[in-house]
Every structure is written in C-alpha cells, then in structure tokens.
C-alpha cells in the first residue's frame, strides 16, 4: 500500500500537480470573494449557531428549544421526558458557573465581607474627579443583607439598595460626627524639639571651575 502511495505521489510530482516543498510551509488559506447576498449569509450563520452544541450545556440551542436532536435528515422526538433533559442541563450550567466563580475569586483575591446588619457604613462615591474621595464621609446603617445585596438608610431614614462591594465600614474616629480637621493628632516623642529651625542653613562653598580641555583654533587649509 505504501509503495502505491509513493508511486502515485511521484507521478503527481512529475506531472506538476503538486510541488515538493523543503522546510516549513506557510499554509495560508486564500480569501475568495463570493458574490453572496448578506441576508442569506446571516441565515447560514444563525443556523450554524443554533445547531452547534454549547460549551456549557453541551446541547444545541435548537435542541433545548424544540426538544429533539438536530442535524438529522428526519428529526425524531426524544423518548426521554423533557424534565430529565432540563435537569441535566441545569446541573451542567450550575457546575460551570461554580467553576467560573471559583476561578474569578482566586484571581481577584476575593474575601468574605465583614459587614453585618446594624453596622455603620459609607457608600461608594461615583463622582469622577481627581480630588474626590473613593467613599463619601456620610454615615449609613445596614438594615437588610441578602448575599451581596444590602439595604442601607441614612440618618434621615432614606433607604438605598447597594451591592456590598460598594460599602465600607464607617471609621471609628468619625462615629461622633467629628470633622476631620478637629481630630486630635498623636503627640510626638520630643514635643519640645521643633521640627524645623528658623536659622538659615549655611550655603555650601562654590567649587572652582577647572577647564581641563584645550581650545583649538581652526586651521585654514591652502
């Protein structure tokens, strides 16, 4: 069998049907412009999408919609009840989502939130600006918490629904509504020693400039 194949290849080489290539070959598929109506092309693309098994469900969208297999000349109804098919697809979908969540949590270094009902929190500031803080210095209280969904209220009783990622615990030094300018700063170890001195610092002596290079005058050539 191998001799027949080699003989056939040699005949094709001699008749210039194929060309012998030594070394790596660039397998580039040429783009051929076909005069096809774009409406017909869109229909073909949609048909291919609906009849291709999905990565998560491992079933084609048309099969999940109609309940029968696709890509057959004579489609036949499934013998399994529809609830068996739907249960299997739901299980696969839940497994894929859980795997994606675990991967995202590891990549983003996610940690469980320490915010509970009754805590004082701040809301995220969505106003753009170089000097705008990331969280507004306004006190809110957490009323409800369901997963990542929370409901907070301000001192006037106005409620807001926010994601727990947009909350941060209210700082303890601002619990009594003390403005930041009136917060006492910790004293230093040597309060009597001033940080700066009023005496001017002596200027360093100027160094003498030395010219080590030799100036050369241009010579005129005759």
Number of folded domains in the chain? 2
91, part of any domain: yes
Which residues pair with residue 149 across a beta bridge? Answer: 146, 163
Among 111, 129, 152, the domain boundary falls at 111
Among 92, 111, 130, the domain boundary falls at 111
In this structure, are residues 156 and 144 in contact, taking their beta carbons and an 8 Å threshold?
no
Residue 63 burial by CB count (10 A; 0-12/13-18/19+): exposed, middle or buried?
A: buried
Check which CATH number belongs to the domain holding 159 and give it: 2.30.30
In this structure, are residues 61 and 48 in contact, taking their beta carbons and an 8 Å threshold?
no
In this structure, are residues 51 and 71 in contact, taking their beta carbons and an 8 Å threshold?
yes
201, part of any domain: no
Same domain, 86 and 124: no
So what's the pLDDT on residue 182? 41
Determine the Cα–Cα distance for residues 85 and 53; give it in Å rounded to an integer.
14
Determine the Cα–Cα distance for residues 137 and 126; give it in Å rounded to an integer.
13
Low-confidence ranges of the chain (pLDDT < 50): 74, 79, 178, 180-197
151, part of any domain: yes
pTM for the structure as a whole? 0.42
Which structural domain, as residue segments, surrounds residue 57?
Answer: 36-111
Same domain, 51 and 104: yes
107, part of any domain: yes
174, part of any domain: yes
So what's the pLDDT on residue 134? 87
pLDDT tens digit string along 155-191?
A: 888 999 999 989 999 887 666 554 544 444 444 444 4
């Amino acid at each position: 069998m191998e001799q027949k194949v080699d003989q056939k290849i040699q005949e094709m080489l001699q008749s210039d049907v194929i060309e012998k290539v030594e070394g790596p070959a660039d397998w580039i598929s040429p783009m051929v412009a076909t005069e096809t109506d774009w409406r017909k092309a869109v229909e073909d693309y949609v048909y291919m999408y609906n009849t291709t098994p999905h990565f998560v469900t491992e079933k084609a969208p048309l099969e999940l919609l109609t309940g029968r297999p696709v890509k057959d000349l004579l489609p036949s109804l499934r013998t399994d009840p529809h609830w068996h098919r739907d249960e299997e697809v739901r299980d696969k979908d839940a497994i894929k989502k859980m795997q994606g969540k675990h991967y995202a949590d590891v990549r983003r270094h996610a940690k469980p939130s320490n915010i509970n009902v009754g805590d004082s929190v701040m809301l995220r500031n969505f106003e753009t600006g170089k000097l705008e803080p990331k969280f507004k210095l306004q006190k809110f209280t957490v009323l409800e918490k369901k997963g990542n969904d929370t409901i907070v209220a301000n001192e006037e009783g106005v409620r807001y629904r926010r994601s727990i990622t947009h909350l941060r615990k209210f700082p303890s030094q601002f619990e009594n509504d003390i403005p930041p300018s009136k917060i006492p700063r910790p004293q230093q170890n040597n309060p009597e020693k001033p940080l700066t001195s009023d005496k001017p610092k002596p200027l360093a002596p100027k160094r003498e400039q030395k010219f080590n290079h030799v100036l050369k005058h241009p010579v005129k050539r005759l």
